[in-house]
């Protein structure tokens, strides 16, 4: 396949401006090896009030990347770009590419770097046309090669690594439901894991749909137990090295989810040095 060339725009400063360099799968850089290891970088390099953040959300399937990335994108007025959504849009479009991707996705495997970069580049280009700047990426990069390519074309301010125990991830994926009409995500799982070996217990109440969505709920074809287990295996093999890549750059913020949205959201805002109230006021001003 010819190298995927789409315009991604690198930032000239900490605020993202998309300006033209090619995102090409042919371009693979040397990872930044010399930076200091930082377990939990305070995101001080980012001026949240200036927005236009360029953040990445990492984490296993089912951890809640989509939920928190989407909330933060609303708060910070930047687009939430989930490569899983781009893949599903392609699947639903009925295109030839979509048909090829269905088998891969439904087996819990990763789509090739070339294809995913092509989908992401198209999405960024479309956003650029609408005047978007900044982003929160969810589900990308998922391989070290993708991370290296991203590094080559733009600056990532911060990488948030969401974490939950594996047993919880499986329950959460199996409990996931989507309204086929409004596309909202819900979860019927009620999670209660006892604390052990010094780890605190975790409780998560189900996130139930409103009455108008109940009869329209669907389950993702890749949220079956076997496929979820395969996706977790693939994550450990291909995506955990991406955590190491960003840890080596001192950009990785490790975040153990303390529970459901009610407990997690305020804690996440706290570690990100964000204040929901201030943000709302400054957005309204």
CB of 67 closer than 8 Å to CB of 85: no
- Number of residues forming the site for ligand ADP (CB under 6 A): 17
Minimum distance from CB of 115 to ligand ADP (Å)? Answer: 8
Residue 142 found at the interface with ligand ADP (CB under 6 A)? yes
Q: What is the rounded CA–CA span in Å between residue 228 and residue 115?
A: 22
210/62 Cα distance (integer angstroms): 21
**Cα-Cα-Cα-Cα dihedral sign, residues 206, 165, 157, 121:** negative
Task: Please check whether residue 168 is in contact with residue 202, taking contact to mean a CB–CB distance below 8 angstroms.
Answer: yes
Question: Could you tell me the smallest distance in angstroms from the CB atom of residue 160 to ligand ADP?
Answer: 14
Q: By rule CB under 6 A, what string of x and - marks binding of each residue 59-88 to ligand ADP?
A: --xx--------------------xx--x-
Q: Which of residues 144-183 bind ligand ADP (CB under 6 A)?
A: 146
Element (H, E) at 58: strand 54-59
- Determine, following the binding rule CB under 6 A, whether residue 4 of this chain makes contact with ligand ADP: no
Q: What is the smallest separation between the CB atom of 284 and ligand ADP, expressed in angstroms?
A: 32
Taking CB under 6 A as the criterion, the residue among 110, 168, 169, 268 binding ligand ADP is: 110
Question: Of 48 and 73, which CB lies nearer to ligand ADP in the complex structure?
Answer: 73
Contacts of 8 by beta carbon, 8 Å cutoff, 6+ apart = 18, 21, 22, 23, 121, 124, 153, 154
Q: If binding is defined by CB under 6 A, does position 139 make contact with ligand ADP? A: yes
CB of 68 to ligand ADP, least distance (A): 13
Rounded to whole angstroms, the Cα distance separating 106 from 235 reads 15
Looking at 118-260, which runs of residues are DSSP E strands? 135-138, 158-163, 176-179, 185-187, 191-193, 202-204, 217-218, 252-256
Q: What's the min distance (Å) between Cβ of 268 and ligand ADP?
A: 18
Residues that bind ligand ADP (CB under 6 A): 61-62, 83-84, 87, 104-105, 109-111, 116, 139-140, 142, 146, 222, 231
């Amino acid at each position: 396949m010819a190298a995927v060339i789409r315009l991604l725009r690198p930032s000239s400063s900490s605020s993202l401006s998309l300006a033209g360099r090619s995102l090409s799968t042919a371009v693979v850089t040397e990872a930044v090896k010399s930076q200091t290891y930082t377990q939990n970088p305070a995101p001080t390099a980012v001026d949240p009030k200036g927005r236009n953040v360029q953040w990445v959300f990492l984490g296993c399937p089912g951890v809640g990347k989509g939920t928190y990335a989407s909330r933060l994108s609303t708060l910070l007025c930047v687009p939430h770009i989930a490569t899983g959504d781009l893949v599903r849009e392609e699947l639903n479009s009925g295109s030839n590419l979509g048909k090829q991707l269905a088998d891969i996705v439904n087996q819990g495997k990763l789509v090739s770097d070339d294809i995913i970069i092509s989908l992401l580049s198209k999405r960024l280009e479309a956003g650029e046309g609408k005047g978007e700047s900044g982003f929160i990426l969810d589900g990308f990069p998922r391989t070290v090669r993708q991370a290296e390519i991203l590094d080559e074309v733009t600056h990532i301010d911060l990488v948030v690594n969401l974490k939950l125990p594996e047993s919880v991830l499986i329950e959460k994926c199996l409990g996931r439901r989507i309204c086929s009409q409004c596309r909202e995500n819900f979860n019927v799982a009620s999670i209660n894991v006892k604390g052990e070996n010094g780890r605190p217990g975790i409780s998560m109440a189900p996130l139930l749909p409103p009455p108008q969505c109940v009869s329209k709920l669907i389950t993702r074809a890749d949220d079956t137990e076997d496929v979820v287990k395969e996706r977790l295996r693939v994550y450990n093999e291909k995506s955990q090295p991406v955590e190491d890549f960003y840890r080596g750059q001192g950009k990785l913020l490790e975040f153990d989810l303390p529970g459901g949205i009610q407990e997690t959201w305020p804690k996440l805002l706290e570690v990100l040095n964000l204040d929901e109230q201030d943000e709302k006021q400054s957005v309204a001003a």
